[in-house]
Structure 1
Amino acid sequence: MKFVDMVNIMVVSGNGGNGCVSFQRTGRRTSFLKKPNGSNGGDGGDVWLLADPNMNTLHYFYSNRVFRAGHGQCGRGRGCTGKKGKDVIVKVPWGTRVSYQKTDKLLGDMGSHQKCLKVATGGRHGLGNGHFKYSLRCRKELCNTHGAVGVTQHLLLESLLIANVGLLGLPNSGKSSFIRIVSSAKPKVADYPFTTLVPHLGVVQINSYDRFVIADIPGIIKGASNGAGLGIRFLKHLEHCQILLHFIDIAPVDNSDPLENIVTIKHELSNYNEHLICKPCWLVFNKIDLLEKYVAEKRIEYIISALKWKGRYYSISSKHNINVLFLCNSIMQFINHQTSNQEYISSYA
C-alpha cells in the first residue's frame, strides 16, 4: 500500500429544494383558487468529516477525490415539506489536519480538538407560496423562491501519525534498526543514506499492560528546511508525540563531527517549528559497539559538556541490542508519569 499523508479533495454540499406553488380549491365542481398551500423545499445535504482511529493513512483518497451531498427535495402541495438532502460523512484518519487548499487557512484538526467537522453546508430551502399566504399580492400571484445552490470547497488533508515517541536524526543514525528491534515494524535497513523514504509506526510492548507507539521518520540533513534531501515534509508527524528521541551516530562513517550533527538537526527543527524544540527530547548515542568503551564514554561526555545538555541521554547499540531494553523501560516510565500528571490536572480543572 502506498503511503499517502497529503491529498487534495473537493466536497460539494447539496442544493436546497425549490418552494412549491399550490392552491386549495373551495369545492369539487369549481376551479376557484382560494388559499395558497404550497410548502417549502428541503435543505441541501451537508458534508462532514469524521475522525476514525482505525485509519492510518489517506490512501483511500488517492482514488476518491470528490464527495457530493444529496439535494433537497422540492416542496409539495397541502403543506408537504420537501425532504432534506442526504448528508455525506467522510472518514479521515485520527489526527488529520484540514485546511483550505487556496488560502492554507486551517479549518480544523481532527481528533485533537474535534471528532466531527462540517466542511460544506447545504443550500437553504426555497419557500413555497404557503409561506406568503398572509401577503395580499401573493394570494393572487404565483409567489415562491428557489433553493440556494450548494457550496463547493477544495480542501487539503494532511494526516499526522499519532505516536507517543518520535525518532529523528541524520540518515544512517540507526533509527530504523532500533524500531525493528523493539517492535514488529520492518522498515528497510541498509548501509546507505535515505533507506527510509516514508514514516513507519511500531508498537513497543513492555508488558501485558504497558505499551507505546513509536514513529520513525526519514532522516534530516543540513538544508532540509530549504528542500535538501527529503526536506522537512515528514516533521509534521512529530508534533503530537509526547517525547522525541534524537539519534546520534557516535562513530559516523563519513568522519563528521557528532556535535555538529546535533546542532544541525536542532537548527532545522527550529526553522520548521519552534514548538518542536520545546518538546521533551532525549539524546540517544547509537553504535557504541564500533568504539572502545572508554573512547565512547569520553566522546559522549565531551558532547554533553559542549552542548551544556541538561536533559537525559543514553548510549545504546541497536545492532547488538545493548541498553535497548533499559531505554524502552525509561520511555514507558516517562509516558506513564506524564499521563498521570495530565489526569491529575484535568481532575482539578
Structure 2
Amino acid sequence: MFIDVAKIKVKAGDGGDGAVSFYREKYVAAGGPDGGDGGRGGNIVFQVDTNLSTLADFRYKRKYAASNGENGSGKRCSGRGAQDLIIRVPQGTLVRDLESGRLLADLSTDEPQIIARGGKGGWGNSHFATPTRQTPRFSKPGHPGEAFELQLELKLLADVGLVGFPNVGKSTLISVVSEAKPNIANYHFTTLTPVLGVVFMGEGQSFVMADIPGLIEGAGEGAGLGHQFLRHVERCRLLVHMVDISGSEGRDPKEDFETINRELKKFNDELSQRPMLVVGNKCDLATDEQIEDFQKFVEEQGYDFFPIMAAIRHDVDPLLKRIQEKLSQLPPVVRFEPDPVPVVEMDPAQAGAVTIHNEDGIFVVEGEWLLQLLRSINFDDYESLQYFQRVLINSGVIDALREAGASEGDTVSMYDLEFDFVE
C-alpha cells in the first residue's frame, strides 16, 4: 500500500538526575560531596533507508520515544548517556512540526537528521560545594527531552514527472523506456500510486522518471486521485505533459492540455513555470490534420512537441534525447531548506513566570519551571531549603504572592508541596 502522509509523535529521552553522594573512606575525614552528573537522554534521529518506498510502517506505530539517560552515582561517576532512537524513512521525506507547520528536515540525502534532542543530564551535588556550603544535600534533575507531533510527507525524488489526464498512455510510456512494471489497462485510474522508473541513456547516463496518477479537472482542489500525488511533481526538474492527441476518450486535446496546466498552477504556482515538454500519444488513431493542428497550438505557446505511439515505442527515442538535453541544462532535483527556528523575544521578567490563583484560601502557584525546581530540592536538608527560598525570592514568586494577597500564615500550594507563607 502506497502511503505518502503520516502523523506520529516523538519524544527524546530525558537527561538523568544528578546524584547526592559523599565520599566515604576509612581514615579519610570529611571526604566531601562526590555526586556524579546524569547522562544525556537519547535523540530522535531520522535516517534515509533506500529500501523503503512508502510511509506505510507509520500507520501501525505512531509513538516513538528514546531512552532516558542514567542517573549519576557516587565517586563522581556520571550516568551513561542513552542511545539515539533511529527512525528510518524513504528518501524524499519531509518532516514538519504538526502544530506550527515548520519544516524541520528534508530527508533527501544519506545524512542523518536529529529532529528531537535528548535532555542534558542534571548536575550532581559535587557542583554545589562552596567554602560556606560544604555538604550540599541536593542536586539538579535531568532536563526533559524535546517532544513533537510530526507530519511526515513523502515527495518522491524524480528528474522527470509524467502528467496528464487518465488513460493517455503515461504508464505505457514508462514501461517501454524503463524496467518499471506499472499496471496497464484501458480504463481510468489504472495507476493508483506513483511509479518510478530509471531510464538508461548509455554508460553513466540515466535519469529517473515518475508516472503520476492521472489528473482531472479540479485536482488542484482535491478532485479525483491525482490531487493526492501532485506533491510528488514538486521535486521534478522537468515535466512531460502527455496528451491523447486522437481524442479517443471524447475529449478535446487542447482543452485537456489547458486544464492540466491550470490544475498544476492552482496547486503550486511554481509548477506552471517549470520546464515542460509536450507529448502527443496515440498518433495512430489521429489524422495528420489533428496532429499538425495540435502541434501548432503547442509550439505557439513555446513548448517542444513530440508525437509518439508509446505502445510500440514509435518515435520515443527523440523524446528521450531531448529530455536528456534539457536535464543537462537544469539545476539538480529540488531540495527544501528547513525553516529557521523562530526567535521568541522573552521579557526577562517573564523568565520565571508563574500563575497564582486563590482556591478557598489556598494560594495555588503553577509554572513549568517550578516542577524542575521541586525535583531538585531535598526538603530534609536545611541548606537545600535555603537554596529553594533564594530561588523563589530572586525569581519574583514571593513578590507575586504578596501582590495576589497572600499574608503571614496563609497556605501556599506548589503541586505536591504545601507550606505556610512567611513575610
The one-letter amino acid of 2:128's match is F
What whole-Å deviation, never above 9, does each CA across 1:210-233 have from its counterpart, x for those lacking one? 221110011111111222111522
User: Quick check: 103-112 or 178-187, which moved more?
Assistant: 103-112
Number of the residue aligned with 2:80: 83
Q: SS at 2:312's partner residue?
A: coil
TM-score, normalised via structure 2 length = 0.74
CA gap of 1:244–1:196, structure 2 versus 1, over 3 A, is same
Q: Percent identity?
A: 38
Distance 2:291 2:243 in 1: 14
Offset of residue 8 of structure 1: 1.6
Offset of residue 154 of structure 1: 1.3
Distance 1:301 1:251 in 2: 12
User: Quick check: 149-158 or 122-131, which moved more?
Assistant: 149-158
Distance 1:21 1:258 in 2: 79
Distance 1:124 1:209 in 2: 48
What whole-Å deviation, never above 9, does each CA across 1:19-39 have from its counterpart, x for those lacking one? 1111123x6268x65411111
Q: Are residues 1:318 and 2:310 paired?
A: yes
> Contact 1:8/1:157 (CA < 8 Å) preserved in 2?
yes
Number of the residue aligned with 1:174: 169
CA gap of 1:234–1:22, structure 2 versus 1, over 3 A, is same
Instruction: Extract unaligned runs of 5+ from structure 2.
Output: 333-423
Q: How does 1:104-253 map to 2 (within 5 A)?
A: 104-111=101-108, 115-134=111-130, 136-137=132-133, 139-253=134-248
Distance 1:239 1:261 in 2: 21
Distance 1:135 1:265 in 2: 78
Number of the residue aligned with 1:331: 323
Distance 1:155 1:339 in 2: 30
Distance 1:221 1:325 in 2: 28
Offset of residue 298 of structure 1: 2.6
> Contact 1:288/1:296 (CA < 8 Å) preserved in 2?
no
What whole-Å deviation, never above 9, does each CA across 1:180-220 have from its counterpart, x for those lacking one? 11112121122221111110011112223322111001111
Q: Are residues 1:284 and 2:261 paired?
A: no
* Matched residues, number: 332
Instruction: Extract unaligned runs of 5+ from structure 1.
Output: 341-349
Q: Are residues 1:297 and 2:295 paired?
A: no
Offset of residue 135 of structure 1: 5.8
Offset of residue 55 of structure 1: 3.2
Larger radius of gyration: 2
Number of the residue aligned with 1:61: 58
CA RMSD across the alignment: 2.1
> Contact 1:19/1:125 (CA < 8 Å) preserved in 2?
yes
CA gap of 1:124–1:240, structure 2 versus 1, over 3 A, is same
Distance 1:53 1:231 in 2: 25
What whole-Å deviation, never above 9, does each CA across 1:248-282 have from its counterpart, x for those lacking one? 11122342221111111111111111111121101
Aligned match for 2:264, one of 269, 272, 276? 269
Offset of residue 337 of structure 1: 4.3
CA gap of 1:310–1:49, structure 2 versus 1, over 3 A, is same
Aligned match for 1:258, one of 231, 245, 253? 253
Number of the residue aligned with 2:3: 4
> Contact 1:41/1:72 (CA < 8 Å) preserved in 2?
yes
The one-letter amino acid of 1:102's match is E
Distance 2:290 2:200 in 1: 29
Q: SS at 2:311's partner residue?
A: coil
